[in-house]
């Protein structure tokens, strides 16, 4: 009797971190306006006037900033009529995040795992909705949630077939991280933190990414809780973890139901704003 073969992923390519990070610079050369926006938003001299001037040279990116500013998330539906006002409404950090999304081809669904943006926007909205419980600003948490998945995109760009298989095999983000390390030597979240550090993002954005797997770390509790909410909304086989544990006691199960309802309602509009 021949034993049945265990399912296995295709052989992983040699993973060269420096080459993958270097590919971001290549992407920047192809999206010069977005690269300028990221650089300007990181500058101490940044102003809404200058950012809106730069954005004006990229119609698609400017349109997404306008659409997001007029979305339900900011409560300004239909009242934002100029790009400079839109930059002021969403904030420099969000503009920088949207430019980074454009730079790394996160806005091209054909280059990403199936349902990537459903997971990504759910994670971002969950983080922003939960943010006040952790004394964080919803706008900053939205950016954290959106960019947390950047490493997924970079791994997928490097190994499309293999990562697509890994993504479908390990629907849970918690289970997927050790599988990523085994295959590539680095998890997608860790890759995100390395890439954002290279791009000059502040430490406040990086620390949660590196501490999300430490249940005792309060710094990773918001993102950890957002991943738990995301799993409950996007993975039919999700094995729930007690929200009290992942949130370092900041949340109770009774707090989760309204968050699930709000995120479920608003996720599609956020996807439309970000993807155009």
Per-residue pLDDT tens over the stretch 122-149: 999 999 999 999 999 999 999 999 999 9
Q: pTM value?
A: 0.87
pLDDT tens, position by position, 143-196: 999 999 999 988 998 889 999 999 999 988 988 999 999 999 999 999 999 988
Round the average pLDDT of the chain to a whole number and report it: 88
pLDDT tens, position by position, 210-257: 999 999 999 999 999 999 999 999 998 999 999 999 999 999 999 999
SS (H, E, C) the chain: CCCCCCCCCCCCCCCCHHHHHHHHHHHHHHCHHHHHHHHHHCCCCCCHHHHHHHHCCCHHHHHHHHHHHCCHHHCCCCCCCCHHHHHHHHCHHHHHHHHHHHHCCCCCHHHCCCCHHHHHHHHHHHHHHHHHHHCCCHHHHHHHHHHCCHHHHHHHHHCHHHHHHHHHHCCCHHHHHHHHHHHHCCCHHHHHHHHHHHCCCCHHHHHHHHHCCCCCCHHHHHHHHHHHHHHHHHCCCCCCCCHHHHCCCCCCHHHHHHHHHHHHHHHHHHHHHHHC
Decide which of 195 and 108 is more confident. Answer: 195
């Amino acid at each position: 009797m021949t034993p049945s073969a265990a399912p296995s992923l295709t052989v992983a390519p040699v993973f060269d971190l420096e080459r993958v990070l270097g590919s971001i610079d290549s992407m920047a050369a192809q999206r010069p306006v977005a690269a300028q926006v990221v650089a300007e938003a990181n500058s101490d001299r940044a102003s809404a006037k200058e950012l809106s001037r730069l954005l004006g040279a990229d119609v698609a990116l400017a349109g997404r900033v306008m659409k997001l500013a007029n979305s339900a998330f900011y409560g300004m539906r239909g009242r934002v009529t100029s790009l400079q006002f839109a930059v002021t409404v969403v904030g420099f950090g969000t503009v920088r995040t949207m430019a980074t999304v454009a730079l790394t081809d996160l806005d091209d669904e054909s280059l990403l795992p199936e349902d990537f943006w459903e997971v990504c926007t759910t994670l971002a909205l969950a983080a922003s909705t939960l943010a006040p419980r952790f004394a964080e600003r919803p706008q900053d948490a939205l950016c954290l949630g959106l960019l947390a998945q950047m490493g997924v995109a970079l791994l997928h760009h490097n190994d499309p077939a293999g990562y697509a298989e890994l993504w479908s095999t390990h629907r849970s983000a918690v289970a997927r991280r050790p599988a990523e390390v085994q295959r590539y030597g680095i998890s997608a979240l860790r890759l995100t933190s390395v890439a954002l550090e290279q791009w000059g993002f502040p430490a406040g954005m990086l620390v949660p990414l590196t501490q999300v797997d430490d249940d005792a770390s309060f710094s990773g509790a918001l993102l950890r809780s957002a991943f738990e909410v995301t799993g409950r909304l996007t993975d039919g086989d999700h094995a729930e973890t007690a929200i009290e544990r992942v949130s370092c006691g900041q949340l109770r199960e009774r707090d989760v139901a309204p968050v699930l309802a709000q995120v479920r309602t608003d996720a599609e509009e956020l996807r439309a704003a970000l993807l155009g």
